[in-house]
Amino acid sequence: MAQDENTAGIRWSSVASGLLSAAVVFGGLTWAAGPLAPELIQHDEAVPYRENAQGVREVSFAERLANRKPEVVILGSSVTACAIDPELLQERSGREVLDLTIAGGMSASWYLLTKNVIAKGAPKPKLVILGFRDVYLTVPDFRVEGRYKAMLDRYVDGPEPVLDRRAYLAKLGTAEYLLRRHWAPFQRRDVIRDRAEALAKTGLPSILLGRSEDQLRESVERVFAEENKMHPEVNSAEEKALASDLDRHFDFDEVLPKSFLPEIIKVAKENGIQLALVRMRPRRNAEPLERQLKYPSFFRELLPEYERKLDNYLEQQGVMLFDFTDDERIPLEWYARDDHLDFDFGRRGFTEILSEEMSATLKALD
């Protein structure tokens, strides 16, 4: 670097004091963050099981499983919850059916539930029906941060190397990985951020409104409830990011080994649980052709190849697939918002179709 007479104007004492001050502040803040933990991902943020406004305590999935001892369990997100009516399926099949769908749940939660809840049931369910759509079965890092992490942490049982690697560590860049490995403030950033935000979120309202933390949380959840949103599917930053680079998830051969799907199948097989995947019909497929053309082109160009490879893989693995992607029996009128069916008639209609399609499987469970 060219250097000239201007260095004469530098006061080296100022430089030294500046560097010393920066080092002291940096060191002090690093020390304040606490010791470095050996695990890179902490799972200590689980949402507690709370009582609702009527004083009824939330029941954990493990408890529900132990109480009901179902033969059939349903896994999936709110799309599945809006498509399969467990009571109607139970009535049609004569099997005890338990709904373990989670609003916002995605492949990481399906993996944890299969491994830590369903496989540990006594007795174990005979059949797991897992509802999914498009490529979400093989996107391991989707909906695993923030409130989704707190939800996932509920189902963590001891060290979770597969979860940590596929949902969190795989997406870290080198710099992020090194910082997480060697610098405590970065390792504990989620906790630090949560504490700071909790203080800001609840401090002022508590003082001004005299309301408890739980009351405030419930108020905020009511105001920002999904049904109050204009486009619930693309609101969170994580979902916007997914939507913006969804095309990289269509290379099935590339994404499969990084996903939770092989693990879910493995756990089911090891525990003698039959797995039935149900591919939901996305709303766009029920829309008129000219509307379908408005959706991103990768749904038309890349998704069919992905689905073909997924189908082959499931066949090789001996996993049943019930595919409703192009099922004309599910009309546009059944949809309420986005890919969600109407919770009343849409759900009833789809469950009737599903019961019919799965009748042989459900009968053969004995």
Number of residues that bind another protein (CB under 8 A): 60
| Sequence-distant (≥ 6) Cβ neighbours of residue 128 within 8 angstroms | 72, 73, 74, 75, 114, 118, 268, 273, 274, 275, 276
Q: Counting contacts by CB under 8 A, is residue 53 touching another protein?
A: no
Q: Counting contacts by CB under 8 A, is residue 18 touching another protein?
A: yes
Q: Counting contacts by CB under 8 A, is residue 295 touching another protein?
A: no
353 membership: H or E segment, kind and range: helix 345-363
Token pair belonging to 140:
């391991």
End-to-end CA distance of the chain: 79
Stretch that binds another protein, among 26-34, 68-76, 249-257, 341-349 (CB under 8 A): 26-34
Minimum CB separation of residue 25 from another protein in Å reads 4
* Integer-rounded Cα radius of gyration of the chain: 25
* Residue labelled with tokens 């890919």: 339
Among 3, 54, 297, 316, binds another protein (CB under 8 A): 3
Identify the three-state secondary structure at position 322: strand
Minimum CB separation of residue 229 from another protein in Å reads 5
Query: Given the complex with another protein, which of 1 and 122 has the nearer CB atom?
Result: 1
Minimum CB separation of residue 201 from another protein in Å reads 5
| Sequence-distant (≥ 6) Cβ neighbours of residue 30 within 8 angstroms | 183, 184, 185
Query: Given the complex with another protein, which of 21 and 52 has the nearer CB atom?
Result: 21
Query: Given the complex with another protein, which of 13 and 54 has the nearer CB atom?
Result: 13
* Residue labelled with tokens 């189902």: 155
Stretch that binds another protein, among 3-11, 85-93, 286-294, 354-362 (CB under 8 A): 3-11
Starting at the edge strand that comes first in sequence, how are the strands of the sheet with 127-132 ordered? 97-99, 72-75, 127-132, 274-279, 320-323
213-223 helix and 189-209 helix, angle to the nearest 10 degrees:
100
Among 87, 197, 214, 326, binds another protein (CB under 8 A): 197
Under rule CB under 8 A, which residues in 133-192 are in contact with another protein? Answer: 171, 173, 175-176, 179, 183, 185-186, 189, 192
For the residues of 152-164, what is the DSSP string, one character each? HGGG--S--HHHI
| Sequence-distant (≥ 6) Cβ neighbours of residue 180 within 8 angstroms | 40, 172, 186, 187
Under rule CB under 8 A, which residues in 205-244 are in contact with another protein? Answer: 205, 208-209, 211, 215-216, 219-220, 222-224, 228-231, 235-237, 241
Query: Given the complex with another protein, which of 228 and 316 has the nearer CB atom?
Result: 228
Q: Which residues bind another protein (CB under 8 A)?
A: 1-4, 6-7, 9-10, 14-15, 17-26, 29-30, 171, 173, 175-176, 179, 183, 185-186, 189, 192-193, 196-197, 199-205, 208-209, 211, 215-216, 219-220, 222-224, 228-231, 235-237, 241
